[in-house]
Amino acid sequence: MPIRLNLDQVMADRGISLTDLAARVDITLANLSILKTNKAKAVRFSTLEALCRELKCQPGDLLEFTKQK
């Protein structure tokens, strides 16, 4: 997919663990892992909002568009 989620990078910058973030944004560890490993096909606005709120960032910090060759 040309859209990537830089969740692992942002989490490392903020020094927050997967378990901690899952508890704060109120989604399961399994679903957060799907996001982190870029296996997700779609992200709900509500999930993105919760991630941005807890990681104190903008959607653009999390999402990245890369051209496919």
Partner 1 sequence: MKKSLNLPSTLRVFFGVAQLLLLVTGMFWCVLLLASLAPRTGPIMTFPFTDVSLEIPANLITVKSPTSIAEDIRVTRLSTVLTLNLNSTDHELAAAIRWTLLPRTIFNLVFYILLLGLLRNLCARAAQGEIFSEANFRSIRNLGLMLMSWSLAGGALQLWSYHRLGGYLAEYGTVTGINATLSAEAGPIIKLPYDNLITGLLVLLLAEAFRQGLALKKENDLTV
Kindly state the smallest distance separating residue 39's Cβ from partner 1, in Å: 6
Residue closer to partner 1, measured from CB, 36 or 69: 36
Give me the residues paired with residue 63 across strands: 5
Supply angle C-alpha 11, 16, 20, rounded to 5.
120
Amino acid in position 22:
A
Residue closer to partner 1, measured from CB, 17 or 69: 17
Binding site for partner 1 (CB under 8 A): 27, 31-32, 34-35, 39-44, 47
Kindly state the smallest distance separating residue 57's Cβ from partner 1, in Å: 17
DSSP annotation of 41 reads S
